[in-house]
Amino acid sequence: MEGNRRFAQYAWGVVAANVAVILWGAFVRATGSGAGCGDHWPLCNGEVIPRAEQIETLIEFSHRVTSGLALLAVVALLIWALRAFPKGHIARKAAVASMALMILEALIGAALVLLQYVAFNISVGRAIWMAAHLVNTLLLLAALVLTAWWGQGGRALRLRGQGLVGWSLLLAMVGMLVLSMSGAITALGDTLVITGGISPAEHALVATLVELRILHPIIAFVVGALVVGAAWIVIQRRIDSGAQRVGRLVIALYIAQLLIGSLNVALRAPVWLQLVHLAFTCVIWILLVTLAAQALATDEAAKVGEQQRLASFGRSTSAQQL
């Protein structure tokens, strides 16, 4: 499939920019700055450009500015995709999906502000919305990654006939989404207890969030088995050197992520380490999506046939040399 190098470079830049916005959003949550603009949206404290009398206002307003710029970047990505690729091209479809998920991302962010699910708000609704927010964020990243991948000439996915490779990657990706929801709830508990100074003895929901914290590392190890297993299966069953390199990188980074998570617990979740933890999550997710795009571009039967032809060619070459 023919690609567009300049478009792909821009698309990967949009992916990187969105990771930066995600990390800044986590900083807003971790520092309890989500109410820095009050319950106003899209205005900040009723103003287009607010007077930053408090550091929380500056942090939240800067996040809104960067989120707005990320939205404009995706708008430009969509326009470019529609102009650069013919009708029906897979990169155009991925760009449309990116735009839809970006709009949904903005709406979820607005809902969190308008519903006042920010700062040190304690409610079940906030936990649900935060979990949904992170899932949509990862889906947005996946759409942007696929836009870049297909924009640079990557082949379209073939979901049929993938066998164990397809199922293992599906389970790994679903597991990552479940893990992200668990992580969002755990991060909320850390914000309320560590940053907000709210004692679990003072509020039943905070006590529940603290009790649920043990589930996140358990889920992380289970999902780790799925992710590492999927990457290993791709390494064993796909002869593409690019897919094998990405698979090895996924395994290495996930092991490192488990160590970072353990350190995060031991140090009682300092803000900087929370951001590092989330950054690794984003990178692992991006690589996992890329791995799936590479491994599922050809069906299992075709790969088996290719391996057999290569083996046959190798045997015939050896026989000629003898």
- Please check whether residues 78 and 192 belong to one and the same domain: no
- Please check whether residues 127 and 178 belong to one and the same domain: no
Confidence (pLDDT) at 137: 97
Q: Are 36 and 57 in contact (CB under 8 A)?
A: yes
Partners of 44 in the beta sheet?
47
- Mean predicted confidence (pLDDT) in 120-125: 92
User: Before 42, cis peptide (omega within 30)?
Assistant: yes
pLDDT of 317 above 60:
no
Confidence (pLDDT) at 309: 45
Using 50, 70 and 90 to split pLDDT, how confident is the model at 306?
very low
List, for residues 123-149, the tens digit of each pLDDT value.
999 999 999 999 999 999 999 999 999
- Please check whether residues 143 and 12 belong to one and the same domain: yes
The span from the CA of 61 to the CA of 34, in Å, is 9
- Average pLDDT value over all residues in the chain: 89
Indicate the residue among 136, 156, 176 that finishes a domain: 156
Q: Is 223 inside a domain boundary?
A: yes
List, for residues 229-267, the tens digit of each pLDDT value.
999 999 999 888 889 999 999 999 999 999 999 999 999
- Please check whether residues 145 and 20 belong to one and the same domain: yes
Tokens linked to 286? 């991006």
Confidence (pLDDT) at 299: 53
pLDDT of 2 above 90:
no
- Mean predicted confidence (pLDDT) in 67-71: 96
- Dihedral of CA atoms 254, 258, 263, 266 in degrees, nearest 10, equals 160
Q: Are 161 and 299 in contact (CB under 8 A)?
A: yes
Which residues, including other chains, have CB under 8 Å from residue 86's CB and lie 6 or more apart? none
- Please check whether residues 104 and 12 belong to one and the same domain: yes
Q: Are 258 and 197 in contact (CB under 8 A)?
A: no
Q: Which of 77, 95, 90, 92 is nearest to 143 (CA)?
A: 95
The span from the CA of 17 to the CA of 144, in Å, is 11
Q: Which of 112, 149, 148, 145 is nearest to 130 (CA)?
A: 112
Identity of residue 155: R
Using 50, 70 and 90 to split pLDDT, how confident is the model at 41?
confident
Q: Are 144 and 290 in contact (CB under 8 A)?
A: no
- Please check whether residues 143 and 32 belong to one and the same domain: yes
List, for residues 158-177, the tens digit of each pLDDT value.
888 889 999 999 999 999 99
Tokens linked to 266? 């031991």
Confidence (pLDDT) at 308: 46
- Please check whether residues 170 and 233 belong to one and the same domain: yes
C-alpha triplet 73, 79, 80: angle, nearest 5°: 85
Burial class (CB in 10 A: 0-12, 13-18, 19+), 214: exposed
- Please check whether residues 266 and 283 belong to one and the same domain: yes
- Please check whether residues 202 and 259 belong to one and the same domain: yes
Number of residues that make up the chain: 322
The span from the CA of 300 to the CA of 17, in Å, is 35
For 130, the domain range is: 1-156
Q: Are 8 and 151 in contact (CB under 8 A)?
A: yes
Number of domains present in the structure of the chain: 2
Q: Is the pTM of this model over 0.95?
A: no
- Please check whether residues 201 and 119 belong to one and the same domain: no
Using 50, 70 and 90 to split pLDDT, how confident is the model at 157?
confident
pLDDT of 319 above 50:
no
Confidence (pLDDT) at 1: 58
- Please check whether residues 261 and 141 belong to one and the same domain: no
